[in-house]
Amino acid sequence: MATGQIRQSLAGYYDVVTEDGEKYRTRARGNFRDRGIKPLVGDIVDFDVSDHDEGYILAVHDRKNSLVRPPVANIDTAIVVTAAAEPDFADNLLDRQLVAIEEFNIQPIIYFTKTDLLSPEKLAHLREVGAGYTKIGYPTYVPDDAFAPAGLAQLQAEFTGRLSVFMGQTGAGKSTLLNHILPELALETGEISQALSRGKHTTRMVGLHEINGGLVADTPGFSSYAVFNMEANELTQYFPEFDEASRNCRFRGCVHINEPGCAVKAGVEAGEFMQSRYTNYLAFYDLIINQKPDYRKKKK
């Protein structure tokens, strides 16, 4: 028996790479389905090493996180590809994405595309917005040209020692950015290609590629962010700057709306926090409060 990481998945086969770089093609044990276990790319697994051509995964180690789209486990970093134009930048959507990623305990990195379509004034404003997110602790890239070699090299420096995925809204340029970083992928881009390929996500190969001392998933994801899965009073912890400030609120459990002595509201009024972040926090809080329960969800 040996231990390794699933680097590629296709049609029930899993390519596992061991620490010494050996690759083995495996399948999951027959009872995995009965036990509700589905191995994912990124999983650390124990497997039978009797044959390089076909072994069997015997056990899947505990995951620190996993996503459905892309179907990857043990993710360290998510590059949130965000359009500066076409579609216009929407801070509400970006903050919604950041909350979703924070919920999985993944480090977000914000990368703006289509910046070449902005006027100098709008680009300067976007850089101010980017500086606000950098202050929170989110590495943020606002390049003059999203696909210039210098900007791509800077982004690739973030991959070292991490397992990274690309995600963002439809039309932001996730596939185009991945194509520039991994030209051999030739991912389909454009509205027509996206519409045609929408039904193929479940069968296409998902893989991890070694780049700059890290691993990058070749399948982008997270196009929609419909539901908040946390309770309303838990929302604060997914806004890191508010979560830190809340330690100084007068009341324990403050949700930063109507309570007196709220350090978060004081910080917003003092200009320490982005007004847009607080506005979106309030909007998300209301959405969670008014969200109808999804009875289709399986109880854990």
Residue numbers in the known binding site for Zn(2+) are 249, 254, 256, 262
Burial of 58 (0-12, 13-18, 19+ CB in 10 A): middle
- Exposure pattern of 233-266 as b/e (b: 16+ CB <10 Å)? eebbebbebbeebbeebeeeebbbeeeeebbbbe
Identify the DSSP state of 58. E
Q: Which residues pair with 217 in a beta bridge?
A: 208
> Do 70 and 78 touch, CB atoms closer than 8 A?
no
Per the annotation, binding residues are 113-116, 168-176, 249, 254, 256, 262
| Alpha-carbon span 16 to 52, nearest angstrom | 10
> Do 99 and 238 touch, CB atoms closer than 8 A?
yes
Question: Is the dihedral angle over the CA atoms 285, 287, 291, 296 positive or is it negative?
Answer: negative
Rounded to 10 degrees, the C-alpha dihedral 291/293/299/300 comes to 10
Q: Which amino acid is at 202?
A: T
> Do 111 and 141 touch, CB atoms closer than 8 A?
yes
Task: Find all residues with CB under 8 Å of 170, minimum gap 6, and list them.
Answer: 194, 223
Per the annotation, binding residues for GTP are 113-116, 168-176
Task: Find all residues with CB under 8 Å of 1, minimum gap 6, and list them.
Answer: 46, 47, 48, 49, 58
